[in-house]
Amino acid sequence: VLYRIYDKEDYGTLGLYVAILGVVGVFSTMQYTQAILIAKEDEEAKKVLWLNRFINIAFTIFSILIVLILGQHIGGWLGNPKVNTWLWLLPVSIFFSGQNQIYRTWANRKKHYKLLSLNSILLAVLIPIVSISVGIFNNGPLGLFLGLAVSQVVPPIILYFALNKSQNLVINRINFDDMKSIGLKYINLPKFSTPAEFLNRFSNQLPVFMISTYAGPSTVGVYNLSVRMLGLPVQLISSAIAEVFRQRATEDFNITGSCRDIFVKTAKSLTYLSIIPLIVLLFYAPDLFAFVFSENWRQAGVFAQILALFYAFKFVVSPLTFLFVLRDRLKEDMLWHIWMLLSTAVVFIIGFKVFNDINLSLGLFTINYIIIYLIYLIRSYQFTT
């Protein structure tokens, strides 16, 4: 229904906004959320949680200043000035997305998997409910942005009250010295993991920025639909399995010095889950998209067909790369992400500037990421013991 209410340009504007949020959002906690999970004592984990909240608030304030200073120029730089209208929402998105990440990590530490599932479902269903309700009465992307905003605000609030009721997230004493001490203990996270994650997100969103610049917002809208549909299994299934894997891998490694069994088991499970959807997409994606979303969106199915293998590898490998954090191989992870960004940029420059072919660009992008994910899979396996 959504893709019959809103046009390609509306989705292109939303897609560019989400890409900007995805890139800058990495700084909202400086990756200290990882320390909530790997801290050995709950009291220390609570202090890390409060450090994350402090960083999130500080970066939200900083983002307000950036939007005030540069908000009227960012869209023009990226080929879609219409996105400037919605950048005032960026600090709201940064704050609540960061809070949600913090509380999800605590819930994962305490094995509240049902609560995490409810949180994921809320994130997924609130967008279409609000967007459809508003879109029926209002033209333009307003409903899409309101749906996104509601889906970011409501889940962390519910998660906080549910966790605080059962776990009591309040600690007896926290001061600047405590936060400084905790921050220094896990300094490798902002030092290496934050740049690596920034490079990862920038590499993932680079297609949006390149398509917006060279092909315009309508093509971004088509691309946004394809990656949104391909990303749903990653968001709902792979991410849920990843949370269990991170908790189990940490526990097994701390106790036995090895997490190879859970690594292999998780890798096999994710591979089996990906096979049938991958086959269907490789053969029928254009027809499926045309049937479900109307003929107007067939090209999104073509993009999905090209990107299917990339998302299959992402579905399987992404959860397993937690081993780089667990084994403190963050510097190596950052170096691989530098290569990821540079190779992605080269791929799209070749595709757009040399051949002027978006399908070729996405094909080269897929091949490049398959190679990268294979390297990550091998290295992660080597880190299990």
The pLDDT confidence band at residue 238, using thresholds 50, 70 and 90, is confident
Provide the pLDDT confidence category of residue 3 given band limits of 50, 70 and 90: confident
Backbone φ and ψ of 7, nearest 5°: -95, 180
Q: Rounded CA gap, 174 and 106, in Å?
A: 18
Predicted confidence band of residue 343 (pLDDT cuts 50, 70, 90): very high
Question: What tens digit of pLDDT does each residue of 281-295 get?
Answer: 999 999 999 999 889
Q: Name the one residue in this structure whose structure tokens are 């949180």.
A: 119
Average pLDDT value over all residues in the chain: 90
Kindly state the average pLDDT of the residues 159-176: 74
Mean predicted confidence (pLDDT) in 331-354: 91
For the chain, the three-class secondary structure string (H helix, E strand, C coil) is CHHHHCCHHHHHHHHHHHHHHHHHHHHHCCCCHHHHHHCCCHHHHHHHHHHHHHHHHHHHHHHHHHHHHHCCCHHHHCCCHHHHHHHHHHHHHHHHHHHHHHHHHHHHHCCCHHHHHHHHHHHHHHHHHHHHHHHCCCCCCHHHHHHHHHHHHHHHHHHHHHHHHHHCCCCCCCCHHHHHHHHHHCCHHHHHHHHHHHHHHHHHHHHHHHHHHHCCHHHHHHHHHHHHHHHHHHHHHHHHHHHHHHHHHHHHHHHHCCCHHHHHHHHHHHHHHHHHHHHHHHHHHHHHHHHHHCHHHHHHHHHHHHHHHHHHHHHHHHHHHHHHHHCCCHHHHHHHHHHHHHHHHHHHHHHHHHCCCHHHHHHHHHHHHHHHHHHHHHHHHHCCC
User: What's the pLDDT at 1?
Assistant: 64
pLDDT reported for residue 172: 56
Does residue 170 or residue 206 have the better pLDDT?
206
Q: What is the distance, to the nearest Å, from the Cα of residue 255 to the centroid of all Cα atoms in its chain?
A: 30
User: Distance between terminal CA atoms of the chain?
Assistant: 49
**Distance (Å, rounded) from C-alpha 298 to C-alpha 294?**
7
- In angstroms, the Cα distances linking 352 to 75, 78, 162, 207, 213 are 20, 15, 49, 11, 10
Average pLDDT over residues 228-237: 84
Please give the single-letter amino acid code of residue 330.
L
311-322 b/e with 16+ CB inside 10 Å = b? bbbbbbbbbbbb
Cβ atoms of 183 and 32 within 8 Å: the answer is: yes
How does pLDDT run across 241-293, given as a tens digit for each residue?
888 899 899 999 989 999 999 999 999 999 999 999 999 999 999 999 999 98
Task: Give the angle subtended at the CA of 123 by the CAs of 121 and 124, to the nearest 5°.
Answer: 65
Sign, CA torsion 242/248/252/255 = positive
* C-alpha to C-alpha distances, 144 to 42, 330, 358, nearest whole angstrom: 39, 36, 26
Helices 8-24 and 142-167 meet at what angle, rounded to 10? Answer: 40
Looking at the predicted structure, is the pLDDT value of residue 166 above 80?
Answer: no
The string of pLDDT tens digits covering residues 291-326 is 998 899 999 999 999 999 999 999 999 999 999 988
pLDDT of 170 > 70? The answer is no
**What pLDDT was estimated at residue 173?**
62
52 Cβ neighbours under 8 A, 6+ residues apart: 29, 32, 33, 36, 98, 102
Cβ(250)–Cβ(40) below 8 Å: no
Per-residue pLDDT tens digits for 19-65? 999 999 999 999 999 999 888 888 888 889 999 999 999 999 999 99
- What global pTM score does this model have? 0.80
Note the maximum CA span of the chain. 62
Q: What's the pLDDT score for residue 33?
A: 93
What is the Cα–Cα distance from 382 to 124, expressed in whole angstroms?
35
pLDDT given at position 373: 96
pLDDT at position 110 over 70: yes
